[in-house]
Structure formats: structure tokens, C-alpha cells
């Protein structure tokens, strides 16, 4: 299983978290206290088809854009204010240290199952940096801002303690 | 029509276009049709789950299954098709022949009940004259058919036809009929409602066949004039009335070169080739069929049905014509469809689609309309020159050759013509020219291009491939 | 038609579909139209180089330019269009009005020659009654048009209309006519050959306009009955006969709510909206136009022209309806076209195409046909729900809203109706629903997918980008 | 300018060389003593459009397949027996040393402008290994067979003498 956390911007409030747990095509989305379970399949043409337990089927194309996530259903676009990283307007970017350097630390004891970047690599905002497996869950750790990886002190397969330093990113424009 | 739709699918089709286009979708079972699309129980359960009220059986699988039609009614569902009794009556070759004879519809001289011994066949052969044709009584689609040219072939032919019939239909009964030489396959579209209205919507020419499967269909037939059209349409109406037929259906005839015609069978469903009739008559048969099922009267009167121009349909299969039409499963790496006036597509795949090996390899249908047959052929030829499918082999080259064939252009063919032409040089594949070499050289020296073919998506990384496999396993839970 | 084709192109269009579809292609010049598509010398040189014999001017640019038609004849080329004299006669608003009046074609009461002073306009206003409309005598496409509701506005309106006319057409002449209130734009398709045969192929309803540009066109008009059709078609034939018109052309009329109609202008070319006529009448106007140019007689007689059903065309532009139709250039990242019965596409882009900022941002046309207007609208609605363009904004949402609009459904509109509707809430964009949020969540959490949007090709590596720039420089040599 | 050498298989004879010189979209193809000049543009849908000096235009899709190069024109495929590397049937693979190891050497004095692989990398048959610039021409050097890069002794920007060892590939199945 793999868990991702997404953020949904609320007009005039803190962004709400959208937690997605995936097991293959199986998808569980939790937000604002309610939960949806469905099968999500990526179609050959790049659209997604969601199939709910009552048989309801919804298909559409999803595009990430600077202004938000564009969702086309029956050809018609709508914009969902969703982002992979916590929206910067909330200025709560977890782990942000001084001097425009973001330090990423392990949230709990676990095993690093994937490392996507090395020191010197550029990362885009929202990029998947690491996957930390803990209690049989794969937790994605993403960049909240774009920048360059300054240090990376873990490698795949390594076990880390909660709070351990994993990597740091020097942000752009700082 | 403002109706919400429920798609059913097997595991092979979770990502198929018909699923993504539906408001509801229900998994039936694993890919083998027996465990999914032929499972009456699974389909009725899907209807129950989604509170469906109408069931449309499509073209294949259970479309001509009387037991399924009955099971639908029993479950309180409206079956979009004819009454189960009509399906049943037309489902038996010998039974339907008897009914047609009684209704005054001409039939090919033949046995009125299945033969159980070779001796009965010999007697018939002597009376009717050779060649004769042996057929599985429960059959269809050419399976279990066998030509017999003289009495000394009877014993062996009967044994083989009977065992084939047993293998395909679990019923070894065989009957025999006179073989009409050089015939065409001409069929009449019929629509009838529950209020006693019954119309014939002209004929279709379906003589271009390979292994008894239609390949190209036209409307109208190039050899049917006003007078013959009237006669063959009345025969079709009589045939459908004899079984109290309601819904869309097709009465198939064998048309002899001398203008006489004989009832072959009635297809109790909407057929793959219905678009050519729609284009020429301006009717929407699929909608009409649903309206009829809902109890509405026909939306057309006989005098409003005025044919205009000529339509041709090509069935595009994922088969390699240069290798005896071997199936060519794979992924559609690129798909370019022609557009413009008089060009219509009914297509079930798109770029990136996988052509599965489990079902019928038909990719889609190209239908063109023109003010007359020569102009329809010109338009077809133009459309085919713009139609490009890469990734799997298709039957498109066959249609391109046909457009340039003088017999086809003149409408000079019978049901065996295509097979004879295929045995000759019709399908030699195109020799590479200088221009092909230059195109290849330009592409292979182009470092700005992605390497090799152009798939719909960038090739999967090993990591992504693993995740995809995982998600496939997930779908099988 | 078995004719080899030569495409001409500007540097912006080397990779455009019309080039790749041609047997020959010749570069005209850099992107600005003045240096390429409007350069008569470059086009004639292209014809000379490729030994072309026919020149088809298309819809825009030089299609209604008498000097170009004349230059073609002088160069020994056959111009696929009307005689230069007919283009010229219809090119002048005031000149054509005089000719129409003489031919007995009804015209809107107005000045028969341009006004050179505001006083002349005041006199006309007093006679005909307000409101009146000021127009550039050399104009078209709504440029330089101005409504005047009372005499006190005349001075200022005349000054502005005259200076606009000068700016757009290099000719400050202005004429005035009575303003017909609540009118529809109805036009008649005419075809005529060199042998004196002349036919009217029914009317088109083109009242749905924005900024005097047609947006949706239909055939037939929902308000034209048999009797009115006969009258307006005879007027159109008289109009075309008055200028010895040969080729395909369109006579535009203003239709008043009281059933009276007035000649507006004649378009001396094939129009963007010609497919709706083709669908309903079963004619191929583009081929007919070429056959006429080759000296052939019309392939139709009046009694063979029988309209059937109803057709609607939507012009799909790369414009953002939610931002006052601002142009939306960019790359077509994905394109899904609806298929099936009665759906036709005339489209000039494909997935991966760049929508340039240099020319008209029309991506293509969607044309649907149905047995009657309500069913055509239902089909249009279905087709629009399957039509998906990602990468640029389009006018598709406008057409989707229209299909659900009760005035549109009832055919209740005039030429100003769409502008009035646009000023209200017609174009509020779709609010994201729960289902959109779940689709977004599913896509953003899918690690098996390529990141972000799905472009037609994988994103270029810096190395590839360099090579591509190099190749672009190469094309500019 | 960039030059590539392709090979066209001849039934029952040595393969003939097809030399392609490109300068942007400009293309010169020389083979069997005759030469064609044209502009070659890759279309948005991946097809190619060739434009000759007399105005002739030819467009088509090109796919590399194990059995040869498939060229679709007017939708109809034909197979051209062309390959990037010298066809192995000719068994003349330039620079093939003993023991299934192919040694690649510089054909002339020049400068290495691009190195695509490092030791240990897998290469496919026909893969572009290096680009050697000499006399203002960019010469592509490709693998004639698939295998693993054993040694690579050059780097980008380096000047090499004619005959200098560049890299070696250990072939598969040897």
C-alpha cells in the first residue's frame, strides 16, 4: 500500500488534507471526515476511470497546471485547487529551516524504500523525494518548494529513526 | 436519448472505451466469454445492482439467445430486441424454413427436416440435382457447411458435417439444400413495433465475404432495381410477420443471377452492417430499436423512407491480409482517421488501446456515403488513403486493393468472388519505393525524434512497470 | 477526383496538415499573411513551378479578390471560383445594392450611393425612420458598422464610421440603411455552371453570431417554411443571375420577423458553413465547384435536390469563452473526437499541433445531422460531451450551454440574441464537483503515470531541444 | 552538420551504405552513386514530411521493427531493409576484436563532442555511442551489436588521434 497526502485549497482558510491510499488500482480517498473507496484505472489515452462500489463510473482527463488541477469530464474542464505540496500561501511548509533551506526528516521509525534524488539534483515543487516504509505503509515524502538538493544522507534499504535527517533542499529565489 | 447507461465488462476490458463512456459499469468476470459476456446470471445481477430497466444485447454474444431474452423478461427487465419466441423460431434452420414456406417466402429447395442417414441425403441429391450443400441444423456463420458435388462424396461429407455440427453446436443434426451457383447475399432491413407497424428499410449487398464472414457491405445493392426491391422487401415483411417479429431485424436472401431469390435466415438483432442503411435512408436504427422496446410506435412511415445515394462499409479487423488473415493482436501505436464529407466511423479502439486476443478482432468500421456508387467508391478510396493504423496489422490494404478492382467497381461479384480474388495476387504487399527509402533515412538520422516507434506514452521505466503489474494484480482481486 | 494537389504554405505552416496531405508543396514566405498567403506573385510563382492548372482560393485570404482572379486567368490558370467581374460587382456594397434593386431583389431601404456629408444621412434618417445603420461602402465582416438611434447622434457617428472605414479599407465612403429590428440572418446557397444552369440549394440559418461573426449555422432555418423557401430561393437566383454568377456562392438575406427579407450581400466563394447544406441536400459543394471550374455541367437537377433532416455546424475556435473569447494559442495536448452516426468533422489540427497566433484561430468544425431539428440537437449534445480538447481553451463550452438553452431549442433567436445571452450567465464555467476532486486525487497519487499533462511526445531533453532549434533555423534559410 | 551512415540490405549481396547529411531540416541522402536533397520535417503526430526542390511532397510514418523499417504512406505499410548498424549477416562489423568484444576506435583526428555511455552500461544494437567532430562534420559512431560497455576511455571535449581507442563493448551471446 502507498499513501500520498494532497492539499485542497480552501478560500480564506487553511488548506485541507486529502489522504490517498492506493493498493494497485484500489483507491481510498479521505478528506474532511468522509471517505470514498473506488477502483481507479488509467486508460490507454491517459484519462482516468473511477469505478465506485455501487457501479457508478466516472471518467475524465486530469492535467496539472500552474493555476490548479484541470479536470475534463464529458469534454468540459473545471479547475480543482489541489496541490501535491502544502500550498505556499499557508506558509507552514513542514521542516523548513533557516536560510531558504528545507530540511526533510523522518516522521517515524522506518525503512527508506526509495530515494529519487542525489545531492546537486534539481527538484520541482511537489516532486516525490523519498518513500519511507513504516508499519507496512509506504509514505511519500515530497518537496514543498522547488530547489536543489543540498545534502542527502540516506540510501535505499536503510533503516532510520523518527526525526532522523534525510535530506535538505536549497530553495529557489531565496 | 437521455438514458443513463450501464456497461458490463470482463477483466480484459476494464479500460475499454465502452466502460469509460458509461454512467455505471459492472465487472462480470474473467476474460473468457463463458465466464463473463455469456454469463446470463452475471448480467442479470449487474442489472439488479444498478437498478437497470432495459437490456441491450449488442451484436454478438447473447444477442440471439432466446433463453437470455426470456430470463430478462422473467427478471422484469425490458429486452431491447425481438420477443423470445421470434428468436427461437428463427434460431432453427429447419423450423424457420418450414414457417417461411408456409408464409409464401421462397426458400431454396431442400430437406424440411434434418437427415439422420446418408441415404436420405442421396435421395435428396438425386431429386434436386447436384451440387448440394450440407448444413448444421443448429448452425450459423458458415460453421459445419459442406458442398457436395456428386453422390459418391455423400458418405464422407455427411460424417464430417455431422461431427462438426456436434463439435460447434452440441447438436449433430444436418440438413441439405440445393446449391445456388454464383449467388449474391442480399438482405433486407426490417423494423416493426408493438402496434403492428412493420417496414422494410431497403436491402443491403453483403456478397463480399471471406470464410462466410461479411467483409464489405453496401446499400443499395448494385444489382437490385426498383422492381426487384419491391418483391424482395415484401418477402422480408412476410417472413418477419410470420414470426410476429418486433424490433429491428434482418432477413437474409440468396439472390441468383437470374433474379430469383431464396430465404436464407433471419438475424434477430441489429447487425454490424446497419450503418449503410442508416446513411442511405436517414434513419437511426439503434435509437429506433430502443424506442420500439419502450413501446413507442415507429417514427417513420413507408412513404417517408426515401433512399438517397450509396453507402459502403468496410469492417476493419486486426488481421494480416498478407499472411492469410492471421490475427494480429497488439497495441495501437498510432491511429489516424480520415474526416470530411460522407465519412463515418464506428470505432472501438483508440491510440494506445490494446487489441486483446480474447474476443473478435474487429477494430472498427469505416462507412462512406456518396451521391452514387462510383462517387462513394472514390470517397472510400480517398478515406482509405488517409486511414493509418500502426502497431497491429489490419485489413485496410485489402479494401485499398478492392477500390481499384474493376470487378468491384462494376459491381460484378458473387459470394465466392472475394475468396477467388484473394487466391490471386490481390494482396501482394506494397514494394518499398525510393521515397520509402528516403523517408526511412530521414527518420533514422533524426536525432531530434524519440527513438523507434512513437507510442502513445513514453516507454515505462522498470519502476513504473512494477507498479503497473501491481495495479493489474489489484484489479484481479 | 484524381487531381494532384499543390499546397502553399508560410513558414508558420511547414508542418501543417494541408502540407503533409498534398502531392506538392511550395513555401510562399514568412508567417505574416501579407508576405505569404496574400502575396499574389508568390502564389502564381508556386503554380508556375509545379505546373499547376487550377487554383482553388479556399475560404479566406484571396478568395474574394477580383484582382487575384484576374491575375490567375492572365497567367493561364483556371480560378476555381466565380468570374472576376462577378466578384467585383458583389464587392461593392452600394454597387451591388443598385444591381439588386434593378433585378427586383428586395433590399433594405437605404442610400443608393455613399454619403459624403452628415446632412445626407440626416435626410435619409428622416425619410426612412430611425434606427438606421451606417456601413463602410467597401466593408464586410461588421467592421465600420454603426447604429444610429436618433438624428442628434448622426454627426459623431458619421465621423467615426468614416474614419474606421478609412482605417480598415482605405476608403472612407459610408452609406446608410434602415435598421431592421430583431432580424435573422438567412442565406441561400447557389450553384451555377458555365452552361446557364443555376440552382438554389436551400437556405442556411446563420443568426447565431458574435461580433458579426457566425458561430453556429443550421440547415434548414427553423423558421423558413415551404412558401418562404420558394420566395427567398428565387430572389437568390435572381441576384446571382444579375451578375452572371458562375461557381458556388451564397446570397445573404436579413429576414424580418414579419417574413419579409432583404438582400444583404453575396459571398463569392465557398463558405465555412457549406457542410450543413451538403448534409441535408446530399450534394458535395467542394467537388461541384471544381467540376464547374473545369467546364462541366451541374451534376444535379432542381427536382433531384430533396432536403432531408436537419444539420447543425459549430465553429470551434481556440478562444476562451470564460474570458471574453480571448485567443488561446498553444499546443493541442490531447484531442478526442466524437464518432458515430450523423457526426462529421472538418478539422485542421491534430494532437500535438500548435495553434499559431498568426492566423484565424479556428480549430475545426463539428457538423451533426439528425432526422429533424430536436434529434439533431440531441446528437450535437452527445457529440459535444465526447469532444475533448486539452492544451488550449476552446469555444466548446459555449456550444454545450447552447444545447441546453430553451430559446435555442425552440429556434427563438435573432442576430443579436447570442450577444445578449453571452452578457448573462451563459458562460459561467463548470464548478468542480466531488467527482472532479476524486479524479484529481486519483491522478495525482498515481505513480505509474507520466507526470503532469500527457503531451503527444515525451518532453524534449535539452539536447533534443538544441537540435530542434537548429532544425528550425534550418527551415528559415 | 551531422552525418549518419545507414545500411540497406541487398538480397544476396553486401549491404549498401546510405549516407545522410543533415543541417537542421535540410537533408542530403547519398547512395549507390546518386544523391537526393530535400527538407525533412517531423510533423506533430510523429510522421515525416519530405519536401523536394521541385516541390514534390511525400509524407509518411516510419517505425523501426525487428524485421526492418516500416514506412506507412497513404496509410499503407511497406518494409525497407534498412538498419543503423551494418547488418550482422555481412559479418564485417568494423573493429570487431576477439572474444566477442567490439573495440571502437577513432577513424580520424577529431574532437569527441558527445559520449552517451559509461563502462557497465547496456547498449542496444545501433545505439549512438559517441559523436566525433572532424573537419566540421559530426560523425556518429554506433554499436553494431548489443552488449555491455566494457571500457570507455574518452570524455566529452577530448581531442583524439585517428586510430585511438575510444571504447569497447562485450557482445551478448558470446
**pLDDT digits over C93-107, tens only?**
778 988 999 999 999
Question: Residue B137 — very low, low, confident or very high, per pLDDT cuts 50/70/90?
Answer: confident
- Which DSSP category does C172 fall into? -
Cell of C286: 467542394
Find the residue in A nearest to C450 (Cα): A46
**pLDDT the model gives residue C473:** 33
A28 at the C interface (CB within 8 A)? no
A158 at the B interface (CB within 8 A)? no
Q: How far is B117 from chain D (nearest CA, A)?
A: 51
Q: What is the mean pLDDT of residues C171-194?
A: 92
B385 at the D interface (CB within 8 A)? yes
- Strand segments, DSSP code E, in chain A are 2-8, 16-23, 26-31, 34-42, 48-52, 57-65, 68-73, 76-80, 82-83, 101-105, 110-115, 122-123, 128-134, 137-142, 147-152, 159-160, 165-171
Percent share of chain B, pLDDT over 90: 62
Is the backbone peptide bond immediately before B434 cis, with ω within 30 degrees of 0?
A: no
Suggest the residue from D22, D23, D24, D62 to mutate for an interface test with chain C (most C CBs closer than 10 A).
D24
A106-115, B117-126, C349-358 — most confident range:
B117-126
D156 at the C interface (CB within 8 A)? no
pLDDT at C451 over 60: no
Q: How far is B400 from chain D (nearest CA, A)?
A: 9
Cell of B448: 531530434
pTM greater than the 0.90 cutoff: no
Binary contact (D75, B441; C-beta < 8 A): no
Determine phi and psi for A16, rounding to 5 degrees: -95, 145
Binary contact (C21, D46; C-beta < 8 A): no
Model confidence pLDDT, tens digit, residues A43-68: 988 899 999 999 999 999 999 887 78
Grouping H, G, I as helix, E, B as strand and the rest as coil, residue C155 is: helix
- Point out the residue among A44, A55, A56 whose CB comes nearest to the CB of B15: A44
Q: What is the mean pLDDT of residues B49-61?
A: 87
Question: Residue C468 — very low, low, confident or very high, per pLDDT cuts 50/70/90?
Answer: very low
ipTM for the complex shown: 0.75
**pLDDT the model gives residue C268:** 93
pLDDT at A174 over 50: no
Q: Which chains reach chain D with 3 or more Cβ–Cβ distances below 8 angstroms?
A: B, C
Mean pLDDT (chain B, rounded) = 87
Answer with the residue of higher pLDDT: C293 or A132.
C293
Answer with the residue of higher pLDDT: B264 or A14.
B264
Question: Which one from C204, C210, C269, C379 is the annotated catalytic residue?
Answer: C269
pLDDT at A99 over 60: no
pLDDT at B380 over 90: yes
- Contact residues on chain B for C345, CB-CB shorter than 8 A: 339-340
DSSP states of B327-376 = E--EE--EEE---STTEEEEE---TT-EE-SSS--EEEEEEEEESSHHHH
A51 at the B interface (CB within 8 A)? yes
- Neighbouring residues of B200: CB distance < 8 A, sequence distance ≥ 6: B188, B189, B190, B233, B234, B236, B237
Are the C-beta atoms of residues A101 and A168 closer than 8 Å to each other? yes
**pLDDT the model gives residue D1:** 77
Q: What is the mean pLDDT of residues C42-70?
A: 89
Cell of C136: 463602410
Find residue D169's DSSP bridge partners. D102, D149
**pLDDT the model gives residue D145:** 77
Active site includes C477? no
Question: Residue A2 — very low, low, confident or very high, per pLDDT cuts 50/70/90?
Answer: confident
Residues C55-71: b if buried by 16+ CB within 10 A, e if exposed: bbbeeebbbbbbebbbb
pLDDT at C264 over 50: yes
All residue ranges of chain D with pLDDT < 70 are 86-99, 107, 135-137, 173-174
Suggest the residue from A48, A51, A116 to mutate for an interface test with chain B (most B CBs closer than 10 A).
A51
Binary contact (C472, D24; C-beta < 8 A): yes
- Strand segments, DSSP code E, in chain D are 2-8, 16-23, 26-31, 34-42, 48-52, 57-65, 68-73, 76-80, 82-83, 101-105, 110-115, 122-123, 128-134, 137-142, 147-152, 159-160, 165-171
pLDDT at B365 over 70: yes
Find the residue in D nearest to B337 (Cα): D75
pLDDT at B30 over 70: yes
pLDDT at A135 over 70: no
- Neighbouring residues of A46: CB distance < 8 A, sequence distance ≥ 6: A61, B352, B456, B457, C334, C449, C454
Are the C-beta atoms of residues B83 and B61 closer than 8 Å to each other? no
Cell of D133: 567532430
**pLDDT the model gives residue D100:** 72
Query: Pseudo-torsion of CA B5, B9, B14, B19, nearest 10°?
Result: -20
- Contact residues on chain B for A23, CB-CB shorter than 8 A: 474
**pLDDT the model gives residue D160:** 84
Given CA atoms C215, C218, C222, C227 in this order, what sign does their dihedral have? positive
**pLDDT the model gives residue B143:** 67
B437 at the D interface (CB within 8 A)? yes
**pLDDT the model gives residue B285:** 94
C445 at the A interface (CB within 8 A)? yes
Longest dimension (CA), chain B: 75
Amino acid at each position: 500500500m502507498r499513501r500520498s497526502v494532497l492539499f485542497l485549497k480552501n478560500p480564506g482558510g487553511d488548506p485541507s488534507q486529502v489522504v490517498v491510499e492506493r493498493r494497485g488500482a484500489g483507491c481510498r480517498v479521505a478528506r474532511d471526515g468522509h471517505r470514498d473507496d473506488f477502483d481507479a484505472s488509467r486508460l490507454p489515452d491517459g484519462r482516468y476511470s473511477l469505478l465506485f462500489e455501487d457501479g457508478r463510473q466516472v471518467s475524465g482527463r486530469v492535467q496539472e497546471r500552474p493555476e490548479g488541477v484541470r479536470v475534463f469530464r464529458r469534454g468540459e474542464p473545471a479547475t480543482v485547487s489541489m496541490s501535491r505540496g502544502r500550498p505556499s500561501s499557508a506558509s507552514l511548509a513542514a521542516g523548513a529551516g533557516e536560510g531558504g533551506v528545507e530540511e526533510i526528516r523522518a516522521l517515524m521509525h522506518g525503512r527508506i524504500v526509495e530515494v529519487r534524488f542525489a545531492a546537486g539534483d534539481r527538484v520541482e515543487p511537489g516532486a516525490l523525494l523519498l518513500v519511507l516504509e513504516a508499519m507496512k505503509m509506504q509514505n511519500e515524502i515530497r518537496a514543498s518548494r522547488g530547489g536543489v538538493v543540498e545534502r542527502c544522507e540516506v540510501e535505499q534499504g536503510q533503516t532510520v529513526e523518527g526525526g532522523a535527517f534525510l535530506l535538505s533542499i536549497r530553495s529557489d529565489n531565496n | 436519448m437521455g438514458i443513463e447507461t450501464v456497461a458490463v465488462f470482463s477483466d480484459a476490458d476494464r479500460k475499454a472505451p465502452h466502460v469509460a463512456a458509461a454512467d455505471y459499469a459492472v465487472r462480470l468476470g474473467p476474460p473468457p466469454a463463458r465466464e463473463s459476456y455469456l454469463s446470463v446470471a452475471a448480467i442479470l445481477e449487474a442489472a439488479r445492482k444498478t437498478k437497470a430497466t432495459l437490456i441491450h444485447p449488442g451484436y454478438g454474444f447473447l444477442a440471439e439467445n432466446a433463453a437470455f431474452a426470456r430470463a430478462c423478461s422473467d427478471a422484469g427487465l425490458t429486452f431491447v430486441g425481438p420477443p423470445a419466441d421470434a428468436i427461437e423460431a428463427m434460431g432453427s434452420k429447419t423450423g424457420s424454413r418450414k414457417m417461411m414456406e408456409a408464409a409464401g417466402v421462397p426458400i431454396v429447395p431442400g430437406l424440411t427436416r434434418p437427415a439422420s442417414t446418408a441415404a436420405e441425403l442421396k435421395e435428396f441429391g438425386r431429386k434436386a440435382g447436384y451440387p448440394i450443400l450440407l448444413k448444421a441444423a443448429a448452425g450459423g456463420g458458415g460453421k459445419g457447411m459442406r458442398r457436395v458435388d456428386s453422390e459418391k462424396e455423400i458418405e464422407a461429407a455427411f460424417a464430417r458435417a455431422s461431427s462438426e455440427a456436434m463439435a460447434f453446436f452440441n447438436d449433430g443434426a444436418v440438413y441439405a439444400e440445393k446449391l445456388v451457383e454464383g449467388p449474391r447475399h442480399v438482405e433486407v432491413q426490417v423494423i416493426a413495433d408493438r402496434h403492428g407497424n412493420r417496414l422494410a428499410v431497403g436491402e443491403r449487398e453483403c456478397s463480399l465475404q471471406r470464410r462466410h464472414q461479411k467483409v464489405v457491405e453496401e446499400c443499395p445493392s448494385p444489382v437490385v432495381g426498383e422492381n426487384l426491391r419491391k418483391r424482395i422487401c415484401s418477402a422480408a415483411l412476410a417472413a418477419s410477420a410470420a414470426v410476429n417479429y418486433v424490433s429491428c431485424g434482418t432477413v437474409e436472401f440468396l439472390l441468383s443471377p437470374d433474379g430469383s431469390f431464396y430465404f436464407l435466415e433471419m438475424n434477430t438483432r441489429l447487425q454490424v452492417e446497419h450503418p449503410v442503411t442508416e446513411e442511405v435512408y436517414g434513419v437511426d436504427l439503434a435509437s429506433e430499436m430502443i424506442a420500439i422496446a419502450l413501446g413507442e410506435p415507429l417514427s417513420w412511415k413507408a412513404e417517408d423512407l426515401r433512399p438517397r445515394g450509396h453507402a459502403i462499409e468496410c469492417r476493419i479487423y486486426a488481421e494480416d491480409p498478407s499472411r492469410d488473415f492471421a490475427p494480429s493482436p497488439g497495441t495501437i501505436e498510432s491511429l489516424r482517421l480520415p474526416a470530411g464529407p460522407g465519412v463515418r466511423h464506428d470505432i472501438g479502439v483508440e491510440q494506445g488501446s490494446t487489441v486483446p486476443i480474447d474476443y473478435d478482432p474487429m477494430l472498427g468500421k469505416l462507412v462512406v456515403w456518396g451521391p452514387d456508387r462510383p462517387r462513394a467508391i472514390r470517397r472510400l478510396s480517398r478515406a482509405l488513403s488517409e486511414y493509418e493504423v500502426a502497431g497491429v496489422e489490419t485489413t485496410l490494404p485489402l479494401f485499398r486493393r478492392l477500390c481499384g478492382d474493376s470487378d468491384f467497381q462494376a459491381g460484378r461479384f458473387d459470394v465466392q468472388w472475394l475468396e477467388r480474388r484473394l487466391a490471386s495476387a490481390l494482396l501482394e504487399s506494397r514494394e518499398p519505393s525510393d521515397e520509402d527509402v528516403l523517408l526511412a533515412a530521414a527518420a533514422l538520422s533524426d536525432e531530434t525524434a524519440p527513438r523507434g516507434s512513437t507510442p502513445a506514452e513514453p516507454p515505462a521505466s522498470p519502476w513504473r512497470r512494477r507498479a503497473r503489474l501491481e495495479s493489474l494484480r489489484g484489479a484481479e482481486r
